[in-house]
Amino acid sequence: MPQEMLVRFRHNKYNFEVATVPGTVTKYREGLLRSLEDVLVTDVIFTDYHKGARASDKELQSAFGEGFKKEEVLERIVRRGDFQLSASERRQKLEQKRNEIIEYIHKNFVDPKSRLPLPRMRVEQALETIHPRIDMDLPADRQVAQLMSKLVVCMPMKKHQVEGTLRLPHSVLGASNAIVRSYCTVSREHYTGEGAVLDIMIAPGDYDAFIKALNQASKGNFHFDVAGATASAAASTEEKIGKRTKLKGNKNRNP
């Protein structure tokens, strides 16, 4: 049997401890395990597990009331107690937080030159370069703020929205309008004999999804000029970051 993991719970000046199977507490709290029997090594409640000191009925009554039910107390300790993550759980949470940081940068920052979103792969490479100490309990936005001075050295970045001018012919306005309104903020629009001209703003992290959705809705029949770059129907920031060649939307063309 693997070494037990203790869950400690302080309540009304008392300290209670239960022994659990490593790696099960997090799964239980997330609903992946439903039975306490899958979590507990034993249903004994201790005041000091290492000394073998068991909690008396008097101590449990004082902490949880005379009508306490042992199963409910065990549930409360497992749900709300403090515990140390196993090595695998810690690695998993650190990787999850790292991915949150990458996603936050991708969604909220652009390349200052191209003014297009920073590709996730590029962000990941930058993190590998600076070797940050990731805090799994600190929100991603706060960690990015702390890492900015190091990140900008190897990856120029600026917090900004993607701005540009979108041109749509009359033939695709009906199919494309809902896509534009759901992803973008339209600051100005006017119509010509050829179609609509829209000045739009979009969050960097929504750019690729917007281009893909617009490409499908318009059958590739659109033109989007980004300030500092030009995007077409098939363009993706993951592959086309920094491209400046003028391109028109075309579902059969990879610029």
pLDDT in tens, 70-106: 999 999 999 999 987 777 888 888 999 999 999 999 9
Express each pLDDT in 167-179 by its tens digit.
999 999 999 999 9
Q: For residues 108 and 102, what is the distance between their CA atoms, to the nearest angstrom?
A: 10
Superfamily for 5-83? Ribosome maturation protein SBDS, N-terminal domain (3.30.1250.10)
Torsion angle (degrees, nearest 10) of CA 144, 147, 153, 158: 20
211 pairs with which residues across the strands?
none
Using the structure block, give the residue that is written with the tokens 């403090």. 82
Q: What per-residue confidence (pLDDT) applies to 87?
A: 79
Please tell me the CATH code under which domain 87-159 is placed. Answer: 1.10.10.900
pLDDT interval class at 212 (50, 70, 90) = very high
Q: For residues 151 and 242, what is the distance between their CA atoms, to the nearest angstrom?
A: 19
Two tokens, residue 28:
């239980």
Percent of the chain with pLDDT over 90: 56
- At CB < 8 A and 24+ separation, what contacts does 210-215 make? 210/179, 210/183, 210/184, 211/235, 211/236, 212/236, 213/179, 213/183, 214/176, 214/179, 214/180, 214/249, 215/249, 215/251
The domain spans of the chain are: 5-83, 87-159, 162-240
Lowest mean pLDDT across 60-64, 77-81, 187-191, 204-208: 204-208
- When comparing pLDDT for 230 and 194, which is higher? 194
Q: For residues 117 and 208, what is the distance between their CA atoms, to the nearest angstrom?
A: 9
CB 117 within 8 A of CB 208: yes
Q: What per-residue confidence (pLDDT) applies to 115?
A: 81
Please tell me the CATH code under which domain 162-240 is placed. Answer: 3.30.70.240
What is the value of pTM for the model shown?
0.55
Express each pLDDT in 142-191 by its tens digit.
899 899 989 999 999 988 788 899 999 999 999 999 999 988 889 899 99
Using the structure block, give the residue that is written with the tokens 């759901």. 182
Q: Work out the average pLDDT over 20-42.
A: 91
Q: What per-residue confidence (pLDDT) applies to 228?
A: 59
CB 21 within 8 A of CB 4: yes
Q: For residues 106 and 127, what is the distance between their CA atoms, to the nearest angstrom?
A: 13
Nearest to 19 by CA among 45, 53, 55: 45
Q: What per-residue confidence (pLDDT) applies to 254?
A: 34
